[in-house]
Structure 1
Amino acid sequence: MILLPLLTCVLLGALSAQAKVVDTFAECDKFFYKGKEPAGMDQNAKKICQKLNNRYHYATLYSTHHRIPVYSAYLFDRDKQHAGNSRTSVWFIEPQISIKNSDDWMTLETLYKRTDIKVSQALSSDYSKTGYDRGHLNPNCYQCDEGREATFTLTNAAPMNPRFNRVRWYQWEKGVKDFLKANTVSTVYLVTGTVPHSNKRIPQREESRVTVPTHIWTAVCYVDPYDKDKSFSFGYIGRNVADTSITMMPVANLNSQLAQLYQPSGTEQAGLYIFNQYFKYNMPQVLFIFANLLCNTY
C-alpha cells in the first residue's frame, strides 16, 4: 500500500517538469548573450525551452536525426551554489519531439509507448551496458534544486567516453565553476555543444540509433555590468576519447574550428557563430587564471 502513494509522488514530480518544443527561442532567449542564439548549425534540429515548474532553466537545440543535442545554452547561477545539491537518478524524455500535440513537459519514458518515443530521440536503454556515459551538456553541477533536476533529460545528454566525461571534461567544468563562483557581479552565458560523428553510433543489440560525438565544446561569455574592460569570452574543445587534451582558445577560433568540423568534406561552413558578439580581449589574463585553476583539479 505504501508503493502507490510513492509512485504517485514520482509521477507528479515528473509531470511538473516541462520542456516546450518551440518554433523560436523567444520564450527563453535570456539564456543567449544579447538574446541571440548560435547560427550556422543544424537547421533541422528542434528548439526546446527547458522548463520546470513554470520557470525556464535553459535552452536546447536537439537533433532528431542523431538523437543527441546540438547544444544547450544556460547561465551560471552562483547565488544557489551553496543550496541543496542532491542528485536525482531519474532521467526524462521529451514527448513533443516524437509525438505531435503531446504533453509539453518532460516525463518518464514509461508513460509513453517505447516504439513511439524512440523514433526521434534517445532512451535510457540506448545507453545501458554500452560503455558510454549519459554526459550532460548543461552540467548538473552548475545548477541547484529545480535547475539541477531540469538537466536530467536525455535531450540534454550525449554519449561520452567515461574517462573523458568523468576526468578530462570534469576537470574543465570544475575549473570554470570555481572561477565563476569567485566573481560575484558578472552575468555569464555558456553554450555547450557536440560535433556528431558522421557514422559512429552507440553499439546496440538492435539498430544503432544514437550518434557518438567526436568532440564536445563549450563557449563562455563573461559580462561585467560595470566595466566593459573586465568582460571577456573564450571557448574550449576536446575529443570525446579517453586520453585527450582540452584546448582553450578565443571564441573566434572555436567558431572557425566548429565550422570545419561540422562539414565532413573539410570545407568551412560559412556564417557559423556561437555568440553574435563577443569580447576579444583579456585572453592572456584568462589563460593565466585558468592555468592555475586547472592545476588544482588534477
Structure 2
Amino acid sequence: MSWPPKGLAGTPICQRYINQYRFATLYSRPRRSPLFSAYLYTAPAGKRPPASWKYEPQLAYPGADGNMITFPPGPVDQNVVDSQAVEMDYTHSTYSRGHLNPSLHHQSHEDRSATFTLTNVVPQKEGSNEGPWKDLEQIVNKALVAYCLGRAYVVTGIIPYQTEEHWLKNHRVAVPEYLWSAYCCPNYNNSLPKELKDTFPTYAAIGRNDPNSTEEIVAC
C-alpha cells in the first residue's frame, strides 16, 4: 500500500507522540481537518486519559520536530492558527470534537493520549458523538476484544459535502457530511455468535453528520 494513498489530495501525517509513531492521518489543509486516520487496534486498558489537546508543529513549520505538542495556555502562534484547527475553533460551537481514531481503541496510556490531537478530530454532531457513534466504537471494541486473534486494522474517515460546505467560525474548519469507519481482522475466532457472522473478517459503517439528519449508523 502506498502512503499517502493515490487519488486523495491531502497532507500525510505520521502522528508521533513522545518520540514514537502512533497512527497515520491524511490531513486537509484547506479544510483544517483530517480526511481519515488509520491505526492498529489494541484492547484498551486503564481509564481514559484527560483531554489534553495537541497540535501538529510540522503543519506550521516544515522543519519542526515531528512530535505533536500540547496547546499552550494563552495565545497560540499565528503560524499554527493559519495551518490547522485550534481549540478556539470549537469553543461555543454547536459541534463537538469527534475523534476519528478513538482513545477507546488503544491499550497504552501514551497511545490513548496521542489521539487527543486536533489533527485527528472533525466537527461532529454532539448527539452522534455521545450517542450512536460512541455506541459503534464500543461495539467494535467488544467484538475485536472477544474474537480478533491477531492484529486489527482500522480506518475512520469523512465524506465532505459535495455542495454548500458547512464550516465552523467563518470558514475556519470544514464540517463533514458523513463519518465512516471500517476494520479488518484477518485472523479471528470462527466460533462467532450469529449476530456477528457478518462482521468478520471485515466490517464497515457510516453515519450522516448533517444537523437536519437522523443520527442513525448504517452498516455497509
Distance in 1 of aligned mates of 2:21 and 2:188: 23
CA contact (8 A) 2:48 2:104 kept: no
Would you tell me which structure has more strand in proportion to its own residues? 2
Distance in 2 of aligned mates of 1:37 and 1:233: 22
Opposite residue 135 of structure 1, the aligned amino acid is G
Distance in 2 of aligned mates of 1:118 and 1:195: 24
1:240 Cα deviation from its structure 2 partner? 0.8
Task: Name the SS of the counterpart of 1:224 in structure 2.
Answer: coil
1:234 Cα deviation from its structure 2 partner? 2.3
Distance in 2 of aligned mates of 1:65 and 1:76: 29
Aligned to 1:246: 217
Distance 1:183 1:37, change over 3 A: farther
Distance in 1 of aligned mates of 2:7 and 2:173: 19
1:113 Cα deviation from its structure 2 partner? 4.5
Distance in 2 of aligned mates of 1:185 and 1:192: 21
Say whether residues 1:216 and 2:179 are aligned partners: yes
**Structure 1 stretches of 5 or more lacking a match?**
1-34, 250-298
Distance in 1 of aligned mates of 2:143 and 2:93: 34
CA RMSD of aligned residues (A): 2.3
1:215 Cα deviation from its structure 2 partner? 0.2
Aligned to 2:32: 67
1:216 Cα deviation from its structure 2 partner? 0.2
Distance in 2 of aligned mates of 1:56 and 1:225: 26
CA contact (8 A) 1:164 1:241 kept: no
1:72 Cα deviation from its structure 2 partner? 0.3
Distance 1:233 1:225, change over 3 A: closer
Aligned to 1:195: 159
Return the index of the structure with the highest Cα Rg.
Answer: 1
Task: Name the SS of the counterpart of 2:97 in structure 1.
Answer: strand
Distance in 2 of aligned mates of 1:148 and 1:114: 26
Task: Name the SS of the counterpart of 1:129 in structure 2.
Answer: coil
Q: 1:1-298 residue pairs with structure 2 within 5 A?
A: 35-36=1-2, 39-43=5-9, 45-78=10-43, 81=44, 83-110=45-72, 113-144=76-107, 145-197=109-161, 198=163, 199-202=165-168, 204=169, 207-224=170-187, 232-241=201-210, 243-249=214-220
1:85 Cα deviation from its structure 2 partner? 2.0
Question: What's the TM-score once normalised by structure 2's chain length?
Answer: 0.85
Q: Deviations over 1:169-189 (max 9, x none)?
A: 111111111111102513211
Question: What's the TM-score once normalised by structure 1's chain length?
Answer: 0.64
Distance 1:226 1:85, change over 3 A: closer
Distance in 1 of aligned mates of 2:17 and 2:65: 13
Distance in 2 of aligned mates of 1:177 and 1:91: 23
CA contact (8 A) 1:201 1:210 kept: yes
**Structure 2 stretches of 5 or more lacking a match?**
191-196
Distance 1:148 1:65, change over 3 A: same
Opposite residue 182 of structure 2, the aligned amino acid is A
Would you tell me which structure has more helix in proportion to its own residues? 1
